[in-house]
Amino acid sequence: MAKIRLATVWLDGCSGCHMSFLDMDERLIEIASKVEVVCSPYVDTKEFPENVDLAIVEGAVSSEEDLEKLLKIRKNSKMVLALGDCGVTGNVSAMRNLVGVEASLKCAYDELSDNNKGVRPSRETPKQLERVSAQHERVFIDCFLPGCPPPADAIYNILSSLIEGKEYDIFNHTRFGK
């Protein structure tokens, strides 16, 4: 059996889903025997490659950079898995939608900052979109795995099923907010 080309990507989120991925522990060795990791924070790839079989995408779409990445991921991937509550619903990242970009930046940099109060980064941060969105609001998503973060067992089960072309049932392993 040929290895599938696997990518994992982190958009706007806390990286908890990628940490949960690593919590698969020794099962990572089994997964590694079936995949070629072609892009991931784990391997420090700089560009998203073409011909990816499965892209696992954590996080919400909050910035122009996130949107550009997600469009490229969709274009270059046969299957996209939205990983975690931020990817599936926007979750914590989308709380910004309640007050808007400017009010969020004002709170973060002008009111709550302990260092350099009132100083906002201008070139170091990507331009924020007016509205944070779940991944499926921007591109077609093939499958969803909710959870904050999804438990390692749930990630292992869905990943194993997708690699082997089997059906999966996420509700035995996770739910929103679990």
Per the listing, tokens 């509550």 go with: 85
Model confidence pTM above 0.75:
yes
Write the burial class of residue 109 (CB in 10 Å: 0-12 exposed, 13-18 middle, 19+ buried). Answer: middle
What per-residue confidence (pLDDT) applies to 177? 63
Place of tokens 């499926």: 136
93 contacts 86 by C-beta, under 8 angstroms: yes
How sure is the predictor about 64, in pLDDT bands with cuts at 50, 70 and 90?
very high
Q: What is the pLDDT of residue 129?
A: 96
Helix (H) or strand (E) holding 56: strand 52-58
Q: What is the pLDDT of residue 15?
A: 93
* pLDDT for residue 178: 62
Residue 26 has pLDDT above 90, yes or no: yes
pLDDT in tens, 136-159: 999 999 999 999 999 999 999 999
Average confidence (pLDDT) over 47-67: 97
Mean confidence (pLDDT) of the chain: 92
Q: What percent of the chain has pLDDT over 90?
A: 75
How confident is the model over 93-125, as pLDDT tens digits? 999 999 999 999 899 888 998 888 888 877 777
Taking the alpha carbons at both ends of the chain, their separation in whole angstroms is 34
